[in-house]
Every structure is written in C-alpha cells, then in structure tokens.
Amino acid sequence: MLEGPFVAPLTTCLAQLGYIGLYLGEPKIKMGSLVAPLGKRTQSEGETSELLLTTHFPNSVITKESVVPAATLPARGPDWRLVVRIVTYRRVEWAINSFAPYKSPGVDGIFLALLQKAREVVIPHPVKIFRVCLSTGYVPAIWRQVKVVFIPKPGRNFYSGPRDYRPISLTLFLLKTERLVDI
C-alpha cells in the first residue's frame, strides 16, 4: 500500500474521478525455473532472480545507502530566486503532461495518468520538493530505487535461459523530472 504526504489527497481526488484501483494492486507473475550456463536449473524464485540479475548486470553490487536527513544538507550555491524561476507550477505540469499516461510505474506503483488527472491537488507538493532538491543538490534515496522487470524477448521458441529475457528498469516519475531544467 502507498504511503506518504501525497496519498490521502491523491486517493480522495482519484476516487472522485473514478481512477482509484488502477495502482493499488501489483500483478505477480511467477517466473519458472531457468537453465544456468552450466546446465543446472534454478530451484527457487530467488535463484531465478539472482541468475537473471547476474547475467544482465554483471559485477553489480547491492548497497545499503544511508539517507541523509534534508535538514542537515548544506545549500549548494544556486540562488533561491533562480530555483523558484526554474521550478514553477507550469513547468511541473508540463513535465507531468509530457509523459504518456499509462507508462509503467516505478517502485511507487503510481501511474502518470493519476497525476495528470489530479494535477491541481498534486502539483504544488512536488514543486516544493523539486525546489529544495535543486537548491541543495540532493536527490532522495527512494527516488533512486529502480524496479527491474524481465520481459521475454520476441521471436523465441523457448524461454529457458536468462538471455531469453531482457531487463527493463522502471524509475519513479519524480526522478524523471530532470526535464524541468531542460526547458
């Protein structure tokens, strides 16, 4: 279930618009056993996931990053007036509307269609957050989380090995809003 400062007003607005339920459930598709390079089959979902990750992301390391509270971060130089000119309600609205509404969501599970329909309620909050992020040079750790989904490659007769799938990295919409400074 989603948590955070946006959830209550967003849920209320979406229920009124008839969109509630689009993001509340995540389909679980279990991937079967795969054949490892030495011919041995994976025995569990965990082994299958590990095989896919090590095949497609060799030498990657999972780290536990400590989150620095925003209050202790030093400001990085840009004048606040410049940040306020860069990050505006109109630009955040433009960024939200520049995405296709039903693109796959990131780890938060929120579809852009929801943000696009509830923009009057939602946009003032990310405007404040983006301004602080830009002025401090800090990107929240949760925004840097990625959901990797493995999609079967088309045209294959069998899907028994890790190379029969391709990874798709799904990031949070909030991380993709670097478009704000590209205008």
Does residue 43 sit within a domain?
A: no
Query: Is residue 42, in this structure, part of any structural domain at all?
Result: no
Q: Is residue 21 part of a domain?
A: yes
Cα–Cα distance between 174 and 82 in angstroms, integer?
A: 20
**% of the chain at pLDDT higher than 70:** 70
Q: Does a structural domain hold residue 89?
A: yes
Which of the residues in the chain have pLDDT under 50?
1-2, 7, 10-11, 13-28, 68, 70
Tell me if 2 is assigned to some domain: no
pLDDT of res. 9: 53
What local confidence, expressed as pLDDT, does residue 103 receive? Answer: 84
pLDDT tens-digit series, residues 99-146: 888 888 888 888 888 888 988 898 898 899 888 888 888 888 788 788
Tell me what pLDDT residue 88 has. Answer: 92
Domain that holds residue 95: 7-31+69-159+166-182
95 within a domain of the structure (yes/no) = yes
Q: Which residues contact 162 (CB under 8 A, 6 or more apart)?
A: 34, 36, 51, 52, 55, 56
pTM of the model: 0.62
Q: What is the per-residue pLDDT for 179?
A: 65
Q: Which pLDDT value is given to residue 89?
A: 92
pLDDT given at position 14: 42
How many domains does one find in the chain? 1
